[in-house]
Structure 1
Amino acid sequence: MVILREELKINHINMWEKTAPAERVNLSTSATCDGGEARPPMVWLRSCDAETLTPIKGIRKGEIPSWLSGRLTRNGPGKTSFGDSQYNHLFDGSAYLHQFNIADGEVTYQSRFLQSDTYKKNFLHNRIVVSEFGTLASPDPCKTLFQRFMSFFDPAGKNPTDNCSVNVTYIGDELYALSELPHMRRIDPETLNCVGERTKLNDYIAISQATAHPHVDPDGTLYNMGNKYDDKGGPTYNIIKLPPPEIVNGVTISSLEQAEIVASIPAQWRMYPSYYHSFGMTDNYFIFVEMPFVLNLGRFMYNHFMRKPYFTSLNWFPDEKTKFRVIRRDTGELVNTSYAAKAFLTFHHTNAYEKDGHLIVDLCGIDDGATVYQLMLKNFEDPDFETAPSTMGTHRRFVLPLDVDNAPEDTNLVKLPGTKSNAYKQHNGCIEVSYEELSDIYFDLPRINYRLNGKEYTYVYGVEIDPKGIEFCNLVKMDVTTGETKIWHENGKLVSEPVFVAGPNSKEEDYGVVLSSLIDKHNPKYVALVVMDPKTWKELGRVEFEANGAVTSTFHGMFAGTDETVHRY
């Protein structure tokens, strides 16, 4: 491709140095988080000043179903500085774990900073000494001048940050905190303390990165995606499989010891591997979205030597296409058909499934790669900060026709009734696809009844995001067949990613509860677990707590039921 050698010919944008001014949006009072009240400091700037290490009881209002039993563990940034050194980006803050323990209609709350090597080093030196996505570390005071010089020849680092602040997952019966690096931290679910040393996924399989959004099959098999940059043919995107632990001759073989790469996809641009945050999976296919939001490997090396943050190596090429790479699960091979769409960025897949010769892919799509640069903490210091509409996500449906070998070029190949998605065969055989926008609200952090993961479904739960401060202001239930949305909102409160928990012996898709945590924009120590009725989208009950210190927003989490043998999302 031309972009490999001649960036300037295709409108190359270095968004770190040049970002378009934000276009202003007027929101109705009902869509904002405060209902017109005076705006308090943005919660993304909070730092927890005291952990709640011992589980505390709260005040219950309404009802918590007696059948609901387990743990909701959530993860996100909890500290924006050490000493006088400040983090630059929302993705950099020290990982902070929150947990709600639910049993017999009662709930307790506890929280702890992830006791990672990174956190301990920064705490010891009272400064940021480990670099993050958007923040370059101060020189390590324990290193000699020669050691600091030699570290420049190891850009990836043998021990990069283990500040795993994005998500949590169970691998077998072990709980792990995840980031977008291959280093994970095992967590004791009782105390939230780290267990043992960091786990290096790249000690088991040859990858350089891994997502924080794995998929889990009903038998406990975990699938994830990870980049590999040093293949002879160029970077590859790899599907990783971690089977459940098994006992062989009386010896337990862990999931990690059985890890294998089951598919390998070559990057279309040798020096520009795509960024990605999640992927899709159906009964028969993996779906990887290769975006023109890329890591410029040459610039990455240059920025390392020039002491610039890693994320300044990301480039957005709006004139290129976003590609759908479809892989067969049974063989690990790419399907022959190429699918492409107008450039867009996605962080979160909602679900994907097969129907009548089509592959339906639902995700939260964003039109402008500059969205990552809107998340600089300095933006949140401006009380009038408001992000551009093009950097906000909406819920979108793409439909990929599967059998297109003999398809005509001038006909919409999407034959599913009731969808407005299009797919047209081009002269070169590529299938050009366009999406149907299922709702125009700013929607993200999608979750479903995970029993329908990879299968046809009706409902998705998520958050509506306020462009003023990029805050999670409303809980949303959306019918993906009609686009109908139901909104739950409470003035002065912010919500978290909703987590669906199926009810006992449930046969209906929306029978169960949806769990979300609440924080208060005016009272930093307030935190609550709210339990929603998915059918009516009304609150069943909540338990409110006063934490020991400031409570921060989270990114992702999962519920682990007491009686479950396999914990799925």
Structure 2
Amino acid sequence: MQYEYGKNKEEHPDPIKAEVKGLIPDWLEGTLIRNGPGLFSLGETSYNHWFDGMALLHNFTIKNGEVIYRSKYLRGDTYNSNMHANRIVVSEMGTMAYPDPCKNIFSKVVTFLSHTIPDFTDNCANNIIKYGNDYHATSETNYIRKIDPVTLETQDKVDYMKYLPVNIVASHTHYDKEGNSYSMGTSIAEKGKTKYTLFKVAGGSGSEASPTALKNVEVVCTVPCRSLLTPSYYHSFGMTDNYFIFIEQPLKLDILKMATAYLRKVSWASCMKFHPEESTLIHLIDRKTGKEVGTKYYTGAMCVYHQVNAFEEDGHVVFDVIAYDDNSLYDVFYLDKLKDQIASNTVYCKPMCKRFVLPLSDKGEMGEDLVKLKYTKASAVKEKDGKVLCQGEVLFDGVELPRINYNFNGMKYRYAYTCCVDVSPVAGKILKLDVETKQKIEWTEENCFSSEPVFIPRPNAVDEDDGVVLVSVISCKPGQRCFLLVLDGKSFKEIARAYVDAEFHMDMHGHFIPDCC
């Protein structure tokens, strides 16, 4: 039995006590909140793409070995407008909304004109991020929604554009040890220039009196786009103690086509194109100066959605990513194709966990490999005009949705936790990867799909893998319940599962909030 993509899910806003089998460690206390699409049709209208569905938040609050479950739809302007009309009235990336055919001609004209320069959705169905003391649901538009991570109540709507000029913002945010947050957005054709902007939000800057911690935002640096009207799409970026790593890939948004998409009756997603003939630029930015280093790094055409980790060693910056040879992954999730693709095990471009190495010094002969680290096959060959051609080393293939012990973010690390996606875009297999030995350990179970694994370190732990891994698991067999899986971080053996009398939805990303924070 397959998971039914495109099926509307019920919310469960009242707390449900889970039935725990096994023993949850007594030190594990906090809330795991996760986000993903859960509503795909309203009235006689349906979304075209799985990513477009209305955001459904759900969480697992853990205390004294017990688990309480909740789920609730994000009540943003998009959700409220759609529900009021009982149809899709706000456009998403893969689904363009049009006027109600029952409206009079005057209303149709007004709606037509208003969509010529469209406002983006606040259906923030991708991730959970923290700014200051505030938690937000986010996607990749200029809107995020502040939420209560425990009750899942929707709070303030926050527009990035009121604080800094970014039209599109990455789904993933980094945090330093002082609690500051770092994010990245694209400023499109601002004062005749398109640029990428890295910005910092001070930790602990949120307050009850202020709608958002973004009031204290600080631009750290900007990177010019290599073309004014076709900026690169990106989902995440890398960060070490001293550097940011931004991958400007040849998967591009055509701004002119996006501006006229409504008139041409096409989706915004159709305005995103992969250019395999172009190279991928790798920008290495000094965090102290806000300037790019002098060396120009590049590699062949690839698509990257998720960074694994990055670190510095002996005059090199090492970074690991999940890379694709093209952008076919997005097409897999069109709802009219998804069921057939999963049922037939249709092969799409397989993801690869790749390691790239950027030498900080470009001293060497033309044609010389500047990578001096002995443990990697990644190369960086010096070319003319300050260019360095980087070739990545494939560490693993068929893996996605990577998470690490975030205490090791920006540091040399050994372990990553991922979903296995050999063929299907979803899987009932979770992997612990050892990036040093290239070995992997798996947890697997039939008739289920598993979410992105989240590693929670044991308080005061010394070893990198001393902790637990939490996974939301959807059971597909009739009569089986969904559950929260708890794995031991070291042995990767199951130590507990918390069964919930509710149907989970397939989510995307999540965030664990310890009780102490």
Superposition TM-score, scaled by structure 1 size: 0.87
Q: CA deviation at 1:304?
A: 2.8
Q: CA deviation at 1:523?
A: 4.0
* Mapping 1:76-475, distance limit 5 Å: 76-139=36-99, 144-155=107-118, 157=119, 160-196=120-156, 198-246=157-205, 255-382=213-340, 384-389=343-348, 391-404=349-362, 406-440=363-397, 442-468=398-424, 470-475=425-430
Conserved? CA contact 1:162–1:185, under 8 Å:
yes
Q: CA deviation at 1:254?
A: 5.8
1:529 to 1:392, Cα distance in 2 relative to 1, 3 A: same
* Mapping 1:482-561, distance limit 5 Å: 482-523=437-478, 526-547=481-502, 550-561=503-514
Secondary structure of 1:381's counterpart equals: helix
Letter of the 2:77 partner, please give it: D
Conserved? CA contact 1:45–1:380, under 8 Å:
no
Secondary structure of 1:472's counterpart equals: coil
Unaligned runs of 5+ in 1: 1-39, 565-569
What whole-Å deviation, never above 9, does each CA across 1:396-424 have from its counterpart, x for those lacking one? Answer: 100111110x3211221111011000110
Conserved? CA contact 2:142–2:159, under 8 Å:
yes
Conserved? CA contact 1:206–1:228, under 8 Å:
yes
Conserved? CA contact 1:43–1:552, under 8 Å:
no
d(CA) in 1 for partners of 2:505, 2:296: 43
Letter of the 1:311 partner, please give it: A
Letter of the 2:459 partner, please give it: P
- Name whichever structure is richer in strand by fraction: 2
d(CA) in 1 for partners of 2:496, 2:198: 40
Secondary structure of 1:119's counterpart equals: helix
1:393 to 1:542, Cα distance in 2 relative to 1, 3 A: same
d(CA) in 2 for partners of 1:479, 1:281: 21
Q: Which has the higher contact order (CA 8 A, sep 6+)?
A: 1
d(CA) in 1 for partners of 2:324, 2:267: 24
What whole-Å deviation, never above 9, does each CA across 1:253-307 have from its counterpart, x for those lacking one? Answer: 9631111211110111222100000000000011000000000122223323212
d(CA) in 2 for partners of 1:252, 1:79: 31
Q: CA deviation at 1:511?
A: 0.4
Q: CA deviation at 1:438?
A: 0.5
What whole-Å deviation, never above 9, does each CA across 1:449-489 have from its counterpart, x for those lacking one? Answer: 10111111100111101423x11321110011121111110
Secondary structure of 2:512's counterpart equals: strand
Q: CA deviation at 1:234?
A: 2.5
Letter of the 1:41 partner, please give it: Q
Secondary structure of 1:161's counterpart equals: coil
Cα RMSD, aligned residues only = 2.0
* Equivalent pairs, count: 513
Q: Please identify, of 507-516 and 120-129, the stretch whose mean Cα deviation from structure 2 is larger.
A: 120-129
1:247 to 1:58, Cα distance in 2 relative to 1, 3 A: closer
Q: CA deviation at 1:247?
A: 9.9
Secondary structure of 1:236's counterpart equals: strand
Superposition TM-score, scaled by structure 2 size: 0.95
Conserved? CA contact 2:402–2:416, under 8 Å:
yes
Q: CA deviation at 1:45?
A: 2.8
> Identity, % of aligned pairs?
37
1:512 to 1:465, Cα distance in 2 relative to 1, 3 A: same
Letter of the 2:187 partner, please give it: K
Conserved? CA contact 1:211–1:278, under 8 Å:
yes
Secondary structure of 2:75's counterpart equals: coil
Unaligned runs of 5+ in 2: none
d(CA) in 1 for partners of 2:282, 2:366: 19
